[in-house]
Structure 1
Amino acid sequence: MNSQWRGENQVQLLINGEGYYPPAFEAIRQAREEVLLETFIIYEDKVGLELRQVLIDAARRGVRVQVLVDGYGSAELSRDYLQALFDAGVELQAFDPSPMRLGVRTNLFRRLHRKILVIDGSLGFVGGINYSADHLDDFGPLAKQDYAVQVRGPIVEDLRQATLALLDRHTRLARRHRPWWHRAAVADADSEQATMRLCIRDNHQHPSDIEQQYLRAIVSAHERIVIANAYFFPGYRLLRALRNAARRGVEVTLILQGMPDMPWVRLCSRLLYNYLLRDGVRIHEYCERPLHGKVALVDREWSTVGSSNLDPLSLSLNLEANLVIRDAAFNQRLYEHLDELRQTRCKRVTLQRILRGYWWRAPLIFLTFHFTRYFPALVGTLPAHKPRLKPLYPIDPGTQERLS
């Protein structure tokens, strides 16, 4: 489901693990009725272990805790990790799990890439941050730059229903009344009157909803567009919309990876630079550490924060969730942060620099662009399967079978 526009929401921008994990874990500690959590990755490091403990504590005091992880991104959770959750009563499921073949995970496509946390139907978190220590500064040079938002208001019920729909339990769980003790404002909220819409991408009824939101905002832009995205290789419609916006005088700024966690990411993005730079799009590479964010703003009201990259996997195959936010105060807060990032931690990419050696890159650009353009259709020709949810129980080392 994709929600309608919901008014009177409170929203706070959360930057990196330092901004996200403390309020998220504290919210779980304060939960009284229900914790719903979706994520792509949980690692068994200090972040994953703390997450496990707050989930266990919540379940033991009678809170219903349901966790949905991706079967590819979280495939290596140990028996001990799962056992502790199972013993406490946490309901844990994996999205489209698959056994390794020759030690390699082969279930790469159509992943659950959403990151949603809902507490008692009254407090929500959405963004791109997984539960792993590589989102913290003390991880070192490869710590990721990333974003999420904390929200209260009518939009939270849309987050809750989206998760329950994926769990296939939404028809059996009634909407809960939010008790008075959960109506407090978000501390230091960037806005308390934001209008929001939850946009999801799936492979059934909503295959292009997030992309359409981007396109509508870009086409209507008249002043500024700022996109900070980790994996930037969108389809032709988005590229053309950005180029046309720059041609009509909109200040279009892209903040992309200059120190990628996967080297091929930078190569793919750079294949598009000439196409965009020659029409006035400004491109900056963030070089301090890997950029993992998926945020954007248009003019002085429209913003989005979520899990969707602008690449073929996110736009055409994965399950994604973005919040689209209409609010001037939040837009300005995000703009000030991204502009500071651009000025102090990025390198400007120039057309002169890109054109060096362009002759040998031109055929590669043509082939790569058209391959990624038709990539989702090519993947669709693979043997069809229906992604499924499977209860994730500890593995008995004696039988190598799931405990039940």
Structure 2
Amino acid sequence: MNVAVEHIATDQPPDDAKARDLDYGWQPGNRIELLENGEAYFPAVFEAMRQAQREILLETFILFEDKVGHELQGILIEAAQRGVKVIVSLDGFGCGELSPAFLSELAEAGVKVQMFDPAAKIVGIRTNWFRRLHRKIVVVDAAVAFIGGINFSADHLGDFGPEAKQDYAVQVSGQAVADLHHFALAQSGRQVRTRRGWRRRQQRPSLWPTHTDDGLVRLIYRDNLQHRDDIEEAYIHALSKAQKRVVIANAYFFPGYRLLREIRNAARRGVQVQLIMQGQPDVLLAKLAARMLYDYLLKDGVVIHEYCQRPLHGKVALVDDDWSTVGSSNLDPLSLSLNLEANVLIRDRAFNQQLYQSLETLARNHCQTMPEKRKPRLWLWRLTVGFLVFHVMRHFPALTGWLPAHKPRLKPFESQAHEH
């Protein structure tokens, strides 16, 4: 039976309970570690899985049958064989090239493999382009969690070559792991006991905690039900609070007007605003779309860097000295309007400074900075391409509404040789 993925049971709280808990969703007392690229991420997540005693929950957009994918497969099989409950949720588009043999080996070892919105190719072309499971989450024994933008593929390692991706994730230990665990378990379609912290997801609590202790973490996500714009709202709220600095590093940058306006307004009131974007994109349209916005932002003092060493795949940002976000969500129509995404918000000064130093090194040593006054590009073909790219990207989410409607599902993979 197919399992619906986009549902979490919720109950409405009384108004007085909501009023008493202004910091709902923010979990204190966490340890957050920045993991930059596969060199830091894969050893950390693989070691946690090897030490698992009870449960591994994994969601990813991409899993390839390369050296990273095969190592992951071996770890999951070994964990399942020693009695660990292993649930793996894969996107039907991003993981659509996995072979039946690769998946069967997992299933036959006892790993519960689920594919989000799988679809057969038509005339060799994939049809499940939209509403992807784009999250990257791993939770081990409900004790440690990993979340960010890094997929399980060798192109996140430097030895992959010039096309190796620059990316970020975090390892979280502490009270916030309970929220990540509950979320991942619920999204896998498993019946879970509703935690008190999840009974108010429809209430839109404050995105800015009333206290400023370090180690605060909050999970935010977007789905196509009650949480369509939670991640976008978190960015807008943080930008409106900015007083000193803003740094946004995002692979695919083409946000809506409200977010663009908050970026511009922060720069206008004297905040140092830096954007780090792709200079070597894996999708040329992404670079063209982002450049349509440059003049709008540069004229108000926003500093724009293009990362030119290799493809930028990160989805991170920081505001002032203590607010940061890391996750799977780009700032483009796919992530903000269609995909299933998840980020964490972090209030921690040491982590903020660590992320700032990493991004500052990136901007200073490996980027080219766009000039404040660029030469006008008035050639007819540039104007035509710019106009088409801008309006196609801007209206892309609405255009997808003309496509045949469907409800994406998680479908369990069962090996033909594996009897249940």
Name the TM-score, length of structure 1 as normaliser: 0.91
Cα distance 1:265–1:403, how it changes in 2: closer, same or farther (>3 A)?
farther
**In the alignment, what sits opposite 1:185?**
none
Distance 1:52 1:349 in 2: 43
Distance 1:174 1:249 in 2: 42
**In the alignment, what sits opposite 1:296?**
317
Distance 2:150 2:262 in 1: 28
Q: Is the 8 A contact 1:271 1:361 kept in 2?
A: no
SS in 1 for 2:86: strand
**In the alignment, what sits opposite 1:21?**
42
Q: Is the 8 A contact 2:338 2:397 kept in 1?
A: yes
Cα distance 1:173–1:209, how it changes in 2: closer, same or farther (>3 A)?
closer
Q: Is the 8 A contact 2:214 2:349 kept in 1?
A: no
Q: Within 5 A, what are the aligned runs for 1:19-98?
A: 19-98=40-119
Q: CA deviation at 1:55?
A: 0.2
SS in 1 for 2:374: helix
Q: CA deviation at 1:366?
A: 4.5
**In the alignment, what sits opposite 2:374?**
353
Distance 2:191 2:321 in 1: 36
Distance 1:297 1:136 in 2: 24
Quick one: which of 140, 144, 147 aligns to 2:168?
Answer: 147
Distance 1:25 1:100 in 2: 33
Which segment drifts farther, 225-234 or 359-368? 359-368
Deviation per CA, 1:322-371: give whole Å up to 9, x if none.
00001111101100110011000000111433534477545544543343
Cα distance 1:384–1:356, how it changes in 2: closer, same or farther (>3 A)?
closer
**In the alignment, what sits opposite 1:262?**
283
Distance 2:381 2:244 in 1: 36
The letter for the 1-side match of 2:116 is F
The letter for the 1-side match of 2:374 is R
Q: Is the 8 A contact 1:10 1:193 kept in 2?
A: no
Which segment drifts farther, 331-340 or 343-352? 343-352
Distance 1:80 1:338 in 2: 41
The letter for the 1-side match of 2:181 is R
Distance 1:195 1:46 in 2: 35
Q: Is the 8 A contact 2:35 2:41 kept in 1?
A: yes
Q: What is the CA RMSD across the aligned residues, in angstroms?
A: 2.0
Distance 1:358 1:310 in 2: 29
**In the alignment, what sits opposite 1:279?**
300
Name the TM-score, length of structure 2 as normaliser: 0.87
Q: CA deviation at 1:373?
A: 2.6
Match status 1:214 vs 2:245:
no
Match status 1:133 vs 2:159:
no
The letter for the 2-side match of 1:291 is L
The letter for the 1-side match of 2:182 is Q
**In the alignment, what sits opposite 1:240?**
261
Deviation per CA, 1:102-138: give whole Å up to 9, x if none.
1111110000000000000010000000000000000
Distance 1:319 1:385 in 2: 15
Which segment drifts farther, 377-386 or 234-243? 377-386
**In the alignment, what sits opposite 1:399?**
none
Q: Is the 8 A contact 1:272 1:365 kept in 2?
A: no
Q: Is the 8 A contact 2:285 2:389 kept in 1?
A: no
**In the alignment, what sits opposite 1:12?**
33
Q: Is the 8 A contact 1:312 1:376 kept in 2?
A: yes
The letter for the 1-side match of 2:290 is S
SS in 2 for 1:355: coil
Which segment drifts farther, 235-244 or 355-364? 355-364
Q: Within 5 A, what are the aligned runs for 1:319-398?
A: 319-353=340-374, 355-357=376-378, 361-362=382-383, 364-394=385-415
Distance 2:375 2:67 in 1: 41
Which segment drifts farther, 382-391 or 142-151? 382-391
Q: Is the 8 A contact 1:161 1:170 kept in 2?
A: no
Distance 1:25 1:69 in 2: 18
Distance 1:16 1:354 in 2: 35
Quick one: which of 118, 126, 129 aligns to 1:105?
Answer: 126
Which segment drifts farther, 379-388 or 278-287? 379-388
Q: Is the 8 A contact 2:275 2:302 kept in 1?
A: yes
Distance 1:174 1:334 in 2: 32
Distance 1:201 1:80 in 2: 33
Cα distance 1:354–1:212, how it changes in 2: closer, same or farther (>3 A)?
farther
Which segment drifts farther, 242-251 or 358-367? 358-367
Q: CA deviation at 1:165?
A: 1.5
| Count of residues in Structure 1 that have an aligned counterpart in Structure 2 | 383
**In the alignment, what sits opposite 1:196?**
217
Distance 1:381 1:102 in 2: 21
